[in-house]
């Protein structure tokens, strides 16, 4: 069977990272978290404002992100340094959403993302994988869930890390990010015409992965 390219897109908090990682493990594929690339750039900016384009261009000249699954966790390395935990704060998430809307940033990171998928056997997740990065992927999934369900999952995740969060505030931030991601001028979040819409509001992680793996094996056999 051939190894295919799987694009998993969807809004923030839909569980794309966990679903993609487990799907990759089940299929023996590589897992690329493209959102982590933008989060890493946001993290490398420190206190730099997103309007400071000259500084961002400088950062992009020496910017390299790699991934390695260690004990079931997809670790993210920024220029060789493990930044897995540092890039998962809400502040970095919001900043990543803003910086990803800058045209020259997306252009700079476009080729980096395409190279990850050149040889197939890859699960790549983000906001525009099926529409921009891998428009010819053999399987495209648009993964979503209600804002309330996504906020609940995010709250449990953050509380498990010892962070205190407000549920209503999380819902507001998720709705705000949905609007930002879907209305930006460059590579907006949207479902590819040939993508499978998968709403996992009422099913768990394993059930979601089961559905995607079933589709993947069908595509592998074609």
CA pair distance 44, 55, nearest whole angstrom = 11
Q: What is the pLDDT of residue 136?
A: 94
Determine the Cα–Cα distance for residues 29 and 27; give it in Å rounded to an integer.
Answer: 5
> Which domains are present in the chain?
5-221 (3.40.50.300)
pLDDT of residue 221: 92
Residue 132 backbone class (left: φ over 0; alpha: ψ -120 to 50; beta: rest) = alpha
Q: 């979503």: which residue's tokens? A: 144
pLDDT in tens, the chain (222 residues): 789 999 999 998 899 989 999 999 999 898 988 889 999 999 999 999 999 999 999 999 999 998 887 887 889 999 999 999 999 988 999 999 899 889 999 889 988 888 888 889 999 998 889 998 999 999 999 999 999 999 998 899 889 988 888 999 999 999 998 998 888 877 788 899 999 999 999 999 999 999 999 999 999 998
């Amino acid at each position: 069977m051939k190894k295919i390219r799987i694009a998993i897109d969807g809004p923030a908090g839909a569980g794309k990272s966990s679903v993609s990682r487990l799907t990759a493990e089940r299929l023996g594929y590589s897992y690329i978290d493209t959102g982590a690339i933008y989060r890493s750039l946001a993290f490398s900016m420190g206190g730099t404002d997103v309007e400071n384009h000259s500084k961002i261009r400088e950062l992009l000249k020496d910017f390299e992100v790699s991934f390695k699954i260690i004990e079931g966790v997809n670790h993210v390395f920024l220029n060789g340094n493990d930044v897995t935990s540092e890039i998962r704060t809400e502040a970095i998430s919001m900043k990543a959403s803003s910086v990803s809307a800058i045209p020259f940033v997306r252009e700079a990171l476009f080729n980096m993302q395409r190279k990850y998928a050149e040889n197939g056997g890859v699960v790549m997740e983000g906001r525009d994988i099926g529409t921009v990065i891998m428009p010819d992927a053999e399987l495209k999934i648009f993964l979503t869930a209600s804002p309330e369900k996504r906020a609940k999952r995010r709250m449990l995740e953050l509380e498990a890390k010892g962070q205190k969060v407000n549920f209503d505030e999380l819902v507001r931030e998720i709705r705000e990010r949905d609007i930002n991601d879907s209305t930006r001028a460059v590579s907006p979040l949207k479902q590819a015409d040939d993508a499978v819409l998968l709403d996992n509001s009422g099913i768990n992680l394993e059930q979601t992965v089961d559905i995607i793996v079933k589709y993947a094996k069908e595509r592998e056999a074609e």
